[in-house]
Structure 1
Amino acid sequence: MKLDKKLLAILLFAFILWVWNIGSVDLVSDDALYSFRSLGWHDYLAAEGQTTPFQWFDSFPWWANLSFHDAPPLVFAIQKIFFVIFGDNPFGARLPFVLAMAATLYFVFLIGKELHSKKAGYLACFLMAIMSLAAYGAVAGLLEGVEVLFIVLAIHFWVKFIKTDDNKYLYLLFIFFSLALMSKYTAVFLPLAFLTDILFFRRGVFKRKELYLACLIFILILSPVIIYNIGMFQARDHFDAALASFLGQETNDFLSLRERGVSANIFHGLKSIFNNLAGMMSP
């Protein structure tokens, strides 16, 4: 394969821009909480309004090691691997997010190239490289920094499936659907969007055995959080904090969610989004 110097220049520019100072600034917010729990695989927050299985049980149940009370486990697991390699320091904590965002740029280029042209791919890649949100995702140490990579990978293979009708892309699509959800549940829109697409425009896909095999792979990859939430519901009568918030479950284990005014009503959520956006706009 011929080396693409333009693409390499953009990727190196972004990587250097993001990585040069990640070890000099301490972890102070949610990134510190995620890193602490990743380092010891220890689900504890020291917050009375949002307790964890560590505080609920005298004997820690086996299923509680499969995930975390407020998020799926994949990003924690990736970060733990980097801690093992680079040590328990800010550089080791943030590096996986820098690498994930750099990989995201590459697949944004491929999507732009596939949908339009190589020039469009370069432009999309460069614009994302200089976006403040991309820089924030690369250095903030939050779950979304890895989640967005799997979202973009899923979209890439979705485009490839539409273009080629090759079933191997169907498998890859569902693998990255599940990995995105194993990073953060907010990726739930992806499989819903795909199912809507094939329901209205590609109904023949429902007749393929590969779709159902891909769904089985999807469930197998998600099995840790499925087992975790079954165990939590049996023990505490609710799901993890993220799902409880989404479903409108009220529990004394997560009192802080009640204070946020969570609701399972989708229109309530949309109203909140528009109200927040309006509040950020200058008069």
Structure 2
Amino acid sequence: MIPTLNEADNIDPLLARLCELGLPPESFEIIFVDDSSSDGTPAKVRAWEKRANVRLIERRDKPDLTRSVLAGAAAARGEVIVVMDADLSHPPERLPALIAPLLNGSCDIAIGSRYVPGGGTEGGSLPRRWLSRLANGLARPLCDVNDATSGFFAFQRELAATIAEPAHGHEILLELLMAGQGKLRVVEVPVCFHNRTHGASKLSFRPQWTYLQRLMTLAGGTVSVGTAGRFAAVGLFGLAIDALLFQFLMSRGFGLALAHITSFFAAAVINYSLNSRRSFQNLAGDLRRDQLGRFLTVGIFALLLRGGVLALLIDGWHMPSFLAIFPAIAATAAINYLGAAFYVFPVTVNPPSPDVRWRVASVGIVAFAVLLRLIYLGTAELIPDEAYYWNYAQHMDLSFYDHPPMVAWLIWLGTAIFGNSEFGVRIGSFCCGLITMAYLYALARNLYDKSTAMRAVLLLAVLPFYFATGMVATADAPLVAAWAATLYYMERALLADRNWAWLGMGIAFGLGILSKYTLGLLGPAALLFVILDPASRRWLRRPHAYLAAALALLLFS
């Protein structure tokens, strides 16, 4: 099935290459679904109808790739449908490899993937390639494939009926994956995407915006131009109330914290009442207690962020409070809108699966926790332990009285770049927190699956000890990062049988001991596992483990 829109110059070479595959004529048909082309594309297709098993479907509705594919699926005679572009960006020669897993019954969807070993992209400008990667990266948290935005894929025809009626846009594959709710068997076949040589690209702002809107809807959010516009109008009214009440309370001698908390909740209650009746009126219905509770939860998150922004602007940047309140309000507007769209008034028609909701919640909460840490890094005063370690950094050495030198090195590097400030002291720990998240995600994904990995990172982000570890400048920050890295490389080496992982394990373990001697306890535990596990015992007869231990000792020494 080949959707077309002004692809006249590509029809002949595409069909010629398809016919050269030598497939039995009775085993397939080629369906073109044309969206009102104005360059003679339908005539080009009709010229082939007598020469090959080619059919043409002409749509007169608004051009839309998803609707075109569904129209073609409804007219198809076969049980397996292959979707590909007409511009020769998808190599027809890979078609047999793509359909083989479906024909032998091993999968429901086969994806021609650019982002697996053997796949790639040739030609095209660098901005376009990065834009494509960004679009795919936004979709990847929702599904378990590497190329969720591929336009070259095959699927069982019956799956077309699972796509929700409002579906539209260019990402029909993503619609299929989300409709399957994680129950589909999917394989990815490496393909090399080629830039078109004839015709004009259909890439423009409109399809990109449509994609973002549809992606948010599939993720469970009530996000549209209409809701955003109404939310902004209500927000401007709330901003006026917030700012005026804040200025009034400050002029009456109230403290900064009390003034901004009072004005925030006064404006928030009014905003909630108006948004439930205006911005999200189709979803709110009567005001319910559960919606009010969710609204208050979002409000607490927004208030935490707003307090940090105010403290940063007033105490750090010495901005007058009557001016600082406006960027503080603006900074929390996105939190309020996304919280309302995804949590307070989520999609109720064709909602995503609980697993997708958990994934979206994990991404949102982790991103918020990271942003909150970053804002508060430079606002809170150093605790005694941090001041103690800062003093280490003023007298650099290879070791200190009661701790290895890593925390001092991180503080020295941070203050060398950002100056002797709270932010400079803590930025190293912040980066260690990000490293911990990355290794924990990779470890949990390898041991379990993507959903478990995302929830593991969610727990890491919100548990008080680990939240503080990624913010406060202590030896625990690099220790936890090194511990997570060591466990990841250990899993890759012992369970996945990756020789290169021993190098990573040696480096991570050595850096961990330089952070805190506690990591040394992992050494005997790892040795005991290798001795007791029959599959891992073979490494005792190989040099890899001994070289990793030697590398760790070399770094420590």
Q: What range is the shorter-chain TM-score in?
A: 0.5 to 0.7
Matched, 1:99 2:418: no
Q: Which amino acid aligns with 2:435?
A: A
Q: Which amino acid aligns with 1:123?
A: R
Matched, 1:147 2:502: no
- 1:11, distance to aligned residue in structure 2 (A): 4.4
**Other-structure match for 2:442:** 110
- 1:41, distance to aligned residue in structure 2 (A): 2.3
- Of 539, 542, 551, the residue aligned with 1:205 is 539
**Other-structure match for 2:84:** none
Structure with the greater relative contact order (CA < 8 A, sep ≥ 6): 1 or 2? 1
- Relative to structure 1, is the Cα distance of residues 28 and 124 closer, same or farther in structure 2, using a 3 angstrom cutoff? closer
Q: Which moved more, 1:7-16 or 1:69-78?
A: 7-16
Distance in structure 2 (CA, Å) of the matches to 1:163 and 1:197: 12
Structure 1 residues 198-232: Cα deviation after superposition (integer angstroms, max 9, x where no partner): 12212211111222222221111011xxxxxxxxx
Matched, 1:41 2:395: yes
Contact 1:10 1:125 in 2 (8 A): no
Distance in structure 1 (CA, Å) of the matches to 2:491 and 2:498: 11
**Other-structure match for 2:517:** 185
- 1:120, distance to aligned residue in structure 2 (A): 0.4
- 1:71, distance to aligned residue in structure 2 (A): 0.6
Q: TM-score, normalised by structure 2?
A: 0.35
- 1:139, distance to aligned residue in structure 2 (A): 2.2
SS of corresponding position for 1:139: coil
**Other-structure match for 2:370:** 15
- 1:113, distance to aligned residue in structure 2 (A): 0.9
- 1:79, distance to aligned residue in structure 2 (A): 1.7
Distance in structure 2 (CA, Å) of the matches to 1:206 and 1:99: 35
Q: Which amino acid aligns with 1:205?
A: W
- 1:9, distance to aligned residue in structure 2 (A): 4.4
**Other-structure match for 1:24:** 379
- How many residues are aligned here? 200
**Other-structure match for 2:548:** 214
Structure 1 residues 48-80: Cα deviation after superposition (integer angstroms, max 9, x where no partner): xxxxxxxxxxxxxxxxx3211111112211221
Q: Which amino acid aligns with 2:395?
A: W
Q: Which moved more, 1:20-29 or 1:145-154?
A: 20-29
Structure number having the greater helix percentage: 1
Unaligned 5+ segments in structure 1 are: 43-64, 224-283
Aligned alpha-carbon RMSD (Å):
1.7
Distance in structure 2 (CA, Å) of the matches to 1:163 and 1:9: 32
**Other-structure match for 2:353:** none
Contact 1:110 1:121 in 2 (8 A): yes
**Other-structure match for 1:72:** 404
Matched, 1:163 2:517: no
Contact 1:18 1:98 in 2 (8 A): yes
Structure 1: 4+ residue segments shifted above 3 A: 4-11
Contact 1:181 1:188 in 2 (8 A): yes
Q: Which amino acid aligns with 1:115?
A: L
Distance in structure 2 (CA, Å) of the matches to 1:208 and 1:10: 44
% identity of equivalent residues: 24
Q: Which amino acid aligns with 1:154?
A: T
**Other-structure match for 1:86:** 418
Q: TM-score, normalised by structure 1?
A: 0.66
Structure 1 residues 87-106: Cα deviation after superposition (integer angstroms, max 9, x where no partner): 01101111111121122112
**Other-structure match for 1:278:** none
Distance in structure 2 (CA, Å) of the matches to 1:166 and 1:135: 32
Q: Which amino acid aligns with 1:102?
A: L
Contact 1:146 1:183 in 2 (8 A): yes
SS of corresponding position for 1:20: helix
Residue pairs, 1:50-61, within 5 angstroms: none
Contact 1:107 1:156 in 2 (8 A): yes
Structure 1 residues 154-202: Cα deviation after superposition (integer angstroms, max 9, x where no partner): 0111111123212211121121111111100011111111111112212
